[in-house]
């Protein structure tokens, strides 16, 4: 069939760019490989490599532009465009659609690599060839993720330009494609509404730039090992490592801020696997950056410098694998589905792991043995991996072999340091800090990887219910050690420190931190001593660095970058400690009446029921639910917060409108609303609500009563309707039978009920009547409240009666079940983030300047 | 003995400690009958909501109590008592993961995770009304 209006040419252009980008990345990596050998051909190889990488860059930019044009013009004949965008979407979300999909996010990553590569071509000088060889090689792998070709029935990559909607296997025989003009009638699925916010515009590019930046220290480390320039690579790699620390750190924190503002995690950090997966490479990169600082002066801990630089990039690949392979399954809220590329990702990850480890072994013979073992394992793996690529003992064997080789290489072949470093030197304590970061990362990634261990060893482990406390058990002590190291390290000098001077310089900060942390611990009512210790070490780091910046380097802002960044980091941890440990779930235990009537011990009662119009106490506030508003697919629930003033009347403080998004793609999603104050935040989110419009329901059922509820009551007992309190006062046999229209011989007993709503008092007297040995109760109504009572039974033995209660359906007022929390001093955390970024920028600028001055 | 060796030993000790405590702090996936055999331990039980028997949530009475019946992956059905609010969209869930313990004949859950079939994959190309 001839379809009308399809733009197949643009896909062809895009596909040409894809092929070009792959081919020229390959050419660039080969050419750079030869260019990094020292012989007379070097120069011509280098020229070729440069041109090849530039063509690759143009092709990548071509891919990006083509895909962007397709999205902006709504070419729904392409599956990617149809899948991720629609016509109604404002232009500002086109970027978000671009990287919503897996292909787009890999493209974003590739794009940043290209940019970094182009900068490195100009700045890397002697290291250009070996560094760019690695980066080009990484680009080969990333470019192949877009190829979408089949090799031996395995699909390599997914190509957004060749997958047409009407040819997509999921939509075979879909009726619309029987029409030649289907494009006139079709609209895209659109961007997931959950992602239609500014976070989705800024978070992915930042995070992926952070990911991309880790490739530079990796490439430099590989170059250093390969060219046997074991220390020379460090100086040029330093600013890159710290740029990575800054950008990746910003990306991770942005993720936390997004979770806090827009997702109902109930906090900014939930130790979710996806969060951990990007936190861990950040930690190792921080370690890498700091040992690089030390080793550029005297190579004391070179091995760990190489190891951290390499493992950071491997961990980035691992994090991509974890989040994109679907292996996390039910352990993460961010469940991503497998697009059939996880095997490919795993192979890339293992390849670069092999490359790094092989080079770290140093000894030529060992390298060959290791390579042979790797090759054998790879062949065994490929031939055995019939059904499941992860469930294979080959992988375990290979990993064990790698560790053994690495240890042997380290002990016997790695260049040894000449002298042992002094205990009182800066390098020693930074080295210790890096080790702590490694163990910290190891604990996080080990626990996050439980689903991976399950697959590898065929186990059935699951994370504990209280995941957070498992992480805190280890991470709080690590944080304490790190903070103390941050406090003291700058006061150590390289090589040897006069310990008396050192003690004198730190005394002031130590005393200030000690006094303030004790005062604050008492004021905050810390119950766990560990929290007090963490607070102390945070304050110690804060004061020591502030002191260092002011006294030692005399407020020279250019040189104070490190101190400022450390102050920021200390503030982040202090803010996290206070806001998390003192998080107050104010929606607890205030729904009074309902819990009493149940008389049970409720183990997990973080929710409050708010009926429309009622005012309930909640923590320091009183809250009222005013009803809901429908706006598009969002339903807003308006909640007012009051405080009681001295006169006993209420003052309105603020309103919050948490919402539930009736998301057609992901179901209903609650989005919190938070009121920010200087010293605390009030966070509110709806956990349950009736989403139907109340008017619709009321008109259908006007006048009807709900099903009866039965109660057994003694004198003085109280029961509740949705709008009143009912008290059983007495029984009376003093009944005017004629007025009720029953005969004199009938037995009639009335139950006097007092019905109280907020303002008024009513009476109800349902009658228990026995007429010719049959029970014929007479109902009693309170029309103002829409209540009806029946009196069914008297139990003389225990003095109780049985009453049933019915309510008019329109009586049942709208309600929400919600959670509210107070996060105290969370602003310290956000201020810390900003301070840390500013400090890191200053440090990087200073570092670049110094590098330049020395080379010229 | 060099400092490096001491540090090395400390690190190995810490790493082993991290593995052991971390592994000690895990729950495991189980069926209802396995969970019933160890009523003191917490388990993750995966299963499906039995739609025929419905679910009970009366927020006016108790906003933190939700009960329903779940059939685990081995086909056994148990009443589930969840001490939480009813999750939005519960009926649409395709698969449920409960975290909790058996108490008598009921499974008392403290956490619930749901997988919805719509997640990331629904909708087919179809005609839309012209606007």
Residue that wins the pLDDT comparison between A791 and A220: A220
Chain A CB contacts of B22 under 8 Å are 443, 446-447, 470, 474
Interface test with B, best of A329, A423, A464, A819 (most B CBs within 10 A): A464
Position A261 confidence tier, pLDDT thresholds 50, 70, 90: confident
* pLDDT at res. A600: 42
Q: Name the DSSP letter for residue B127.
A: B
For B21, the closest of A182, A435, A473 (CB atoms) is A473
A338 band by pLDDT with thresholds 50, 70 and 90: low
Which chain B residue lies closest to A432 (C-alpha atoms)? Answer: B7
Distance from CA of A781 to the nearest CA of B (A): 22
Check residue A418 and give its pLDDT.
65
Q: Is the pLDDT of residue A357 over 90?
A: yes
Q: Do B130 and A664 touch (CB under 8 A)?
A: no
Q: Cβ separation of B88 and A171 shorter than 8 Å?
A: no
C-alpha distance from B41 to closest chain A C-alpha (Å)? 11
pLDDT digits (tens, 9 = 90+) for A519-574: 999 999 888 899 999 999 999 999 999 999 998 888 788 889 999 999 999 999 99
Are B128 and A667 a contacting pair at CB < 8 A? Answer: no
Half-sphere exposure for A62 (CA within 13 Å, toward CB): 21
B29 touches chain A (CB under 8 A): yes
Instruction: Kindly list the residues from chain A whose CB atom is less than 8 angstroms away from the CB atom of residue B97.
Output: 330
Backbone torsions φ then ψ of A629, nearest 5 degrees: -125, 140
For A395, the token pair is: 């992988």
Classify A537 as helix, strand or coil. helix
Which CA distances in Å does A851 have to A286, A762, A843, A845, A847?
Answer: 20, 86, 12, 10, 6
- Give the residue from A287, A822, A836 showing the smallest Cα distance to A572: A836
Residue A23 has pLDDT above 90, yes or no: yes
On whether any CB of chain B is under 8 Å from the CB of A171, the answer is yes
Token pair of A307 as six digits? 């190891």
pLDDT digits (tens, 9 = 90+) for A689-745: 877 655 555 455 556 777 778 888 888 888 887 778 888 888 888 777 777 777 777
Whole-angstrom Cα distance, residue A579 to residue A479? 16
A817 to B126: CB separation less than 8 angstroms, yes or no: no
Task: Count CB atoms within 10 A of the CB of residue A780.
Answer: 21
Tokens in use for A604?
A: 């997990």
Alpha-carbon gap, residue A266 to A580, rounded angstroms: 10
Complex ipTM value: 0.85
Could you tell me the two tokens for A352? 């670069």
Q: Is A594 on the interface with B (CB under 8 A)?
A: yes
**CA angle in degrees (0–180, nearest 5) for A775-A776-A780:** 130
Tell me whether A394 touches chain B (CB under 8 Å).
Answer: no
pTM for this structure? Answer: 0.87
Phi, psi of B64 (to 5 degrees): -110, 35
pLDDT value of residue B116 = 61
Structure tokens at A773: 């040995």
Mean pLDDT across the stretch A578-597?
67
What is residue A597's predicted lDDT score, i.e. its pLDDT? 36
The two beta strands, B77-82 and B106-115, are parallel
Nearest Cα to Cα of residue A685 among A632, A622, A639, A634: A639
Asked whether the predicted pLDDT for residue B1 surpasses 70, the reply is no
pLDDT > 50? residue A603: no
Query: CA-CA distance, A285 to A436, in Å (whole number)?
Result: 13
Which residues does chain A have within 8 Å of residue B26's beta carbon, measured at their own beta carbons? 450, 461-464
Long-range contacts of A794-799 (CB under 8 A, 24+ apart): A794/A731, A794/A749, A794/A768, A795/A712, A798/A714, A799/A714, A799/A715
For residue A111, CA distances in Å to A61, A67, A97, A99 come to: 7, 13, 16, 12
Closest residue by Cα to residue A464 from B107, B125, B41: B41
Q: Cα(A668)–Cα(B95) distance, rounded to whole angstroms?
A: 16
Q: Does A396 touch chain B (CB under 8 A)?
A: no
Is A708's Cβ below 8 Å from some Cβ in B? no
Cβ A353 vs Cβ A314: under 8 Å: yes
Interface test with B, best of A273, A335, A598, A688 (most B CBs within 10 A): A688
Separation in Å, CA of B58 to nearest CA in chain A: 10
Distance CA A852, CA A54 (A): 25
Name every residue whose Cβ is closer than 8 Å to that of residue A242 and which is 6 or more positions away in sequence. Answer: A289, A840, A843, A844, A847
Give the separation between CA A400 and CA A730, rounded to whole angstroms. 81
A602/B57 CB distance under 8 A: no
Can you give the pLDDT at residue B117? 54
- Residues of B whose CB is below 8 A from A428: 3
CA distance B89 to A669: 9
| Between residues A337 and A837, the one the model is more confident about | A837
- Cβ pair A712, A694 in contact under 8 A: no
Do B126 and A186 make contact, defined as CB atoms within 8 angstroms?
A: yes
- A665: nearest CB among B2, B30, B122: B122
Residues B38, B28: Cα–Cα separation, whole Å:
12
Are B83 and A664 within 8 A, CB to CB?
no
- Using CB atoms, which residue from A186, A432, A461 is nearest to B28? A461
Which residues, other chains included, contact A488 with Cβ-Cβ below 8 Å and sequence gap of 6+?
A: A429, A502, A506, A544
* Main-chain dihedrals φ then ψ at residue A225, nearest 5 degrees: -70, -40
Q: A236-240 contacts: CB < 8 A, separation 24 or more?
A: A236/A123, A236/A124, A236/A125, A236/A127, A236/A851, A237/A292, A237/A309, A238/A289, A238/A292, A238/A293, A238/A296, A238/A847, A238/A851, A239/A844, A239/A847, A239/A848, A239/A851, A240/A213, A240/A216
The pair of three-digit structure tokens given for residue B65, joined into one six-digit string: 């109590």
Amino acid A310: pLDDT: 97
Give the H/E segment covering residue A286: helix A273-295
Which helix (H) or strand (E) is A731 found in, with range? strand A725-732
A461 touches chain B (CB under 8 A): yes
**pLDDT tens per residue across span A117-174:** 999 999 998 999 999 999 999 999 999 989 888 877 777 888 899 888 888 877 777 7
What φ, ψ does residue A332 adopt, rounded to 5°?
-130, 145
Q: What is the pLDDT of residue A577?
A: 94
Which residues of chain B are within 8 Å of residue A606 when distances are taken between CB atoms? 64, 84
List, in sequence order, the alpha helices (H) in A390-498: 393-408, 426-448, 450-457, 467-489
- Residue reference for tokens 């092929």: A19
Q: What is the largest CA-CA distance in chain B?
A: 82
* CB-CB neighbors (< 8 A) of A609 in chain B: 59-60, 63
**Share above pLDDT 70 across residues of chain B, in percent, rounded to a whole number:** 88
With both helix axes pointing from N to C terminus, report the angle between A215-226 and A128-144 in degrees, rounded to the nearest 10. 130
**pLDDT tens profile A452-507:** 888 888 788 888 778 888 899 999 999 999 999 999 998 998 888 888 888 888 99
Those residues whose C-beta lies under 8 Å from the C-beta of residue A229, and which sit 6 or more positions away, are A223
Nearest 5°: phi and psi at A19? Answer: -65, -40
Cα-based distances in Å from A165 to A169, A173, B120: 9, 12, 17
Instruction: Flag if B83 and A608 touch (Cβ within 8 Å).
Output: no
* Pairs of CB atoms within 8 A across A/B: 168
Give me the phi and psi of A522, to 5 degrees please.
-70, -45
Judge contact between A595 and A605, C-beta under 8 A. Answer: yes
CB A726 within 8 A of CB A718: yes
Contact A14, A161 (CB under 8 A): yes
Span B104-114, pLDDT tens digits: 889 998 888 87
Q: What tens digit of pLDDT does each residue of B21-30 get?
A: 888 888 888 8
- Whether A234 contacts A292, CB under 8 Å: yes
Nearest to B114 by CA among B76, B77, B70: B70
Q: Find out whether A420 and B4 touch, Cβ atoms under 8 Å.
A: yes
Name every chain B residue with its beta carbon within 8 A of the beta carbon of A597: 61
Domain boundaries, chain A: 1-196, 220-463, 492-582+828-856, 593-690+815-824, 705-808
pLDDT digits (tens, 9 = 90+) for A744-776: 778 888 888 888 877 788 888 888 888 878 888
Residues of A in contact with B84 (CB under 8 A): 604, 606-607, 687
Of the candidates B71, B68, B83, which has an alpha carbon nearest to the alpha carbon of residue B32? B71
Residues of chain A with Cβ-Cβ distance to B16 below 8 Å are none
Q: Is B128 on the interface with A (CB under 8 A)?
A: yes
Of A330, A594, A607, the CB nearest to B85: A607
Residue with tokens 């859950």: B109
Query: For B58-101, what is the HEC assignment?
Result: CCCCCCCCEEEEEEECCCCEEEEEECCCCCCCHHHCCEEEEEEE
Whether A710 and chain B come into contact, CB under 8 Å, resolves to: no
More confident residue, A237 or A330: A237
Of the CA atoms within 13 Å of residue A448, those in its CB half-sphere come to 24
- The CA distance from A665 to the nearest CA of chain B, in Å, is 6
Query: B98 contacts in A (CB within 8 Å)?
Result: none
> CB–CB of A423 and B97 under 8 A?
no
Sequence-distant (6+) residues with CB within 8 A of A191 are A84, A85, A86, A89, A93, A96, A97, A100, A200
Q: Does A652 touch chain B (CB under 8 A)?
A: no
In chain B, positions 39-78, which contact chain A (CB-CB < 8 Å)? 42-44, 46, 57, 59-65
- Give the pLDDT score at A537: 97
User: Is A817's CB within 8 Å of B59's CB?
Assistant: yes
- Considering only CA atoms, which of B114, B108, B74 is closest in space to residue B95? B114
Query: Which residue is associated with the tokens 């629609």?
Result: A86
Lowest average pLDDT, out of A92-101, A339-348, A805-814, A818-827, goes to A805-814
Q: What is the per-residue pLDDT for A740?
A: 76
Question: A464 vs B15: CB contact, 8 Å cut-off?
Answer: no
Q: Which residue of B lies nearest to A165 if distances are taken between CA atoms? A: B125
Contact A25, A134 (CB under 8 A): no
Please tell me which residue of chain B has the smallest CA distance to A436.
B11
Cβ atoms of A156 and A345 closer than 8 Å = no
Closest-approach residue (CA) in chain A for B100 = A465
Kindly report which listed range (A219-223, A353-357, A607-611, A678-682) carries the lowest average pLDDT score. A607-611
Q: Verify whether the Cβ–Cβ distance A462 to B27 is below 8 Å.
A: yes
Taking an 8 Å cut-off on Cβ atoms, the answer to whether B28 and A460 are in contact is yes
Nearest CB partner across the interface for A594, out of B14, B62, B124: B62
CATH of the domain spanning B28-115, picked from 1.10.3720.10, 3.30.365.10, 3.40.50.10610, 2.40.50.140: 2.40.50.140
CB contact under 8 A, A420 and B4: yes
Q: What mean pLDDT value characterizes chain A?
A: 86
Please tell me the distance from the alpha carbon of residue A145 to that of residue A342, in angstroms, as a whole number.
Answer: 11
């Amino acid at each position: 069939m001839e379809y009308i209006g399809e733009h197949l040419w643009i896909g062809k252009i895009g596909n040409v760019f894809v092929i070009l980008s792959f081919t020229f990345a390959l050419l660039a990596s080969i050419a750079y490989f030869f260019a990094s050998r020292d012989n007379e051909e070097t120069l011509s190889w280098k020229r070729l490599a440069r041109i090849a990488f530039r063509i690759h860059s143009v092709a990548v930019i071509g891919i990006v532009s083509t895909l962007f044009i397709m999205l902006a013009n709504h070419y729904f004949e392409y599956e990617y465009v149809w899948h991720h965008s629609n016509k109604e979407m404002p232009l500002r979300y086109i970027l978000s659609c671009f990287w919503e999909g897996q292909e787009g996010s890999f493209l974003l990553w590739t794009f940043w690599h290209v940019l970094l590569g182009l900068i490195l071509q100009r700045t890397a000088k002697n290291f250009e060839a070996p560094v760019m060889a690695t980066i080009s090689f990484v680009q080969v792998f990333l470019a192949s993720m877009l190829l979408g070709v089949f090799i031996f029935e395995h699909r390599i990559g997914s190509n957004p330009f060749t997958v047409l909607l009407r040819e997509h296997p999921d939509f075979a025989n879909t009726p619309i494609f029987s029409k030649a003009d289907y494009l006139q009638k079709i609209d895209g699925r659109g961007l997931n509404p959950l992602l239609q916010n500014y976070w989705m515009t800024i978070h992915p590019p930042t995070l992926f730039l952070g990911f991309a930046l880790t490739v530079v220290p990796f490439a430099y480390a590989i170059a250093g090992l390969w060219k046997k320039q074991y220390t020379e690579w460090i100086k040029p790699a330093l600013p890159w490592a710290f740029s990575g620390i800054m950008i990746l750190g910003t990306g991770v924190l942005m993720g936390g801020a997004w979770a806090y503002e827009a997702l109902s995690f109930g906090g900014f950090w939930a130790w979710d696997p996806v969060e951990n997966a990007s936190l861990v490479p950040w930690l190792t990169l921080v370690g890498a950056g700091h040992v690089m600082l030390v080793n550029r002066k005297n190579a004391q801990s070179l091995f760990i410098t190489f190891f951290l630089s390499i493992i950071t990039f491997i961990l980035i690949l691992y994090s991509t694998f974890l989040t994109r392979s679907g292996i996390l399954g039910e352990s993460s809220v961010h469940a991503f589905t497998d697009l059939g590329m996880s095997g490919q990702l795993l192979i890339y990850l293992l390849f670069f792991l092999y490359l790094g480890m092989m080079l770290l072994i140093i000894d030529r013979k060992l390298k060959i043995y290791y390579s042979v073992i790797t090759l054998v394992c790879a062949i065994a793996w490929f031939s055995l991996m019939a059904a499941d690529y992860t469930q294979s003992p080959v992988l375990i064997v290979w990993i064990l072999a790698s560790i053994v080789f690495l240890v042997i290489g380290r002990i016997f072949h790695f260049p040894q340091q000449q002298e042992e470093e002094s205990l009182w030197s800066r390098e020693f304590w930074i080295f210790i800090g890096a080790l702590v970061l490694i163990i910290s990362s190891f604990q996080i990634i080990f626990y996050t990887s439980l689903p991976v261990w399950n697959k590898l060893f065929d186990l059935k482990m699951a994370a504990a219910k209280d995941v957070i406390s498992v992480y805190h058990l280890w991470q709080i002590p690590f944080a304490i050690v790190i903070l103390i190291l941050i406090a003291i390290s700058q006061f150590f000098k390289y090589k040897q420190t006069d310990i008396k001077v050192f003690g004198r310089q730190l005394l002031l900060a130590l005393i200030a931190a000690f006094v303030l942390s004790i005062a604050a611990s008492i004021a905050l009512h810390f119950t766990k001593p560990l929290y007090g210790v963490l607070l102390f070490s945070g304050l110690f780091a804060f004061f020591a660095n502030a002191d260092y910046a002011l006294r030692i380097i005399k407020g020279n802002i250019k040189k104070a970058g490190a101190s400022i960044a450390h102050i920021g980091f200390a503030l982040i941890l202090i803010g996290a400690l206070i806001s998390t440990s003192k998080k107050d779930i104010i929606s607890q235990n205030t729904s009074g009446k309902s819990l009493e009537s149940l008389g049970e011990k409720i183990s997990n009662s973080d929710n409050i029921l708010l009926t429309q119009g009622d005012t309930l106490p909640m923590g320091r506030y009183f809250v009222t639910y005013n009803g809901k508003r429908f706006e598009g697919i969002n339903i807003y629930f308006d909640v007012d917060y009051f405080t009681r003033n001295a006169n006993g009347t209420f003052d309105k403080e603020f309103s919050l409108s948490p919402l539930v998004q009736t998301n057609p793609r992901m179901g209903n999603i609650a989005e919190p609303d938070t009121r920010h104050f200087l010293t605390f935040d009030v966070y509110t989110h709806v956990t349950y609500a009736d989403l139907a419009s109340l008017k619709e329901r009321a008109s259908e059922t006007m006048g009807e009563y709900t099903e009866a509820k039965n109660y057994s009551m003694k004198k003085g007992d109280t029961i509740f309707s949705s709008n009143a309190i009912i008290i059983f006062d007495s029984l009376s046999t003093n009944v005017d039978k004629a007025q009720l229209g029953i005969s004199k011989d009938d037995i009639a007993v009335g139950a006097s009920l007092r019905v109280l709503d907020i303002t008024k008092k009513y009476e109800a007297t349902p009658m228990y009547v026995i007429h010719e040995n049959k029970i014929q109760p007479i109902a009693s109504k309170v029309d103002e409240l829409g209540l009806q009572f029946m009196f069914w039974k008297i139990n003389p033995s225990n003095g109780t009666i049985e009453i049933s209660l019915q309510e008019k359906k329109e009586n049942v007022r709208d309600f929400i079940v919600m959670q509210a929390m107070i996060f105290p001093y969370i602003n310290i955390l956000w201020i810390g983030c900003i301070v840390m970024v500013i400090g890191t920028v200053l440090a990087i600028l200073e570092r670049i300047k110094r590098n330049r001055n020395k080379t010229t | 003995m060099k400092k490096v060796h001491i540090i090395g030993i400390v690190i190995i000790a810490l790493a082993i400690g991290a593995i052991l405590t971390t592994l000690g702090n895990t729950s495991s996936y189980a069926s209802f009958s396995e969970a019933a055999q160890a009523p003191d331990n917490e388990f993750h039980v995966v299963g499906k909501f039995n739609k025929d028997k419905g679910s009970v949530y009366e927020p006016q009475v108790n906003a933190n109590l939700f009960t329903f019946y779940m059939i685990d992956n081995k086909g056994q059905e148990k009443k589930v008592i969840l001490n939480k609010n009813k999750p939005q969209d519960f009926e649409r869930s395709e698969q449920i993961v409960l975290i909790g313990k058996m108490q008598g004949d009921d499974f008392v859950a403290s956490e619930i995770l749901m997988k919805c079939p719509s997640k990331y994959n629904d909708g087919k190309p179809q005609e839309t009304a012209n606007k």
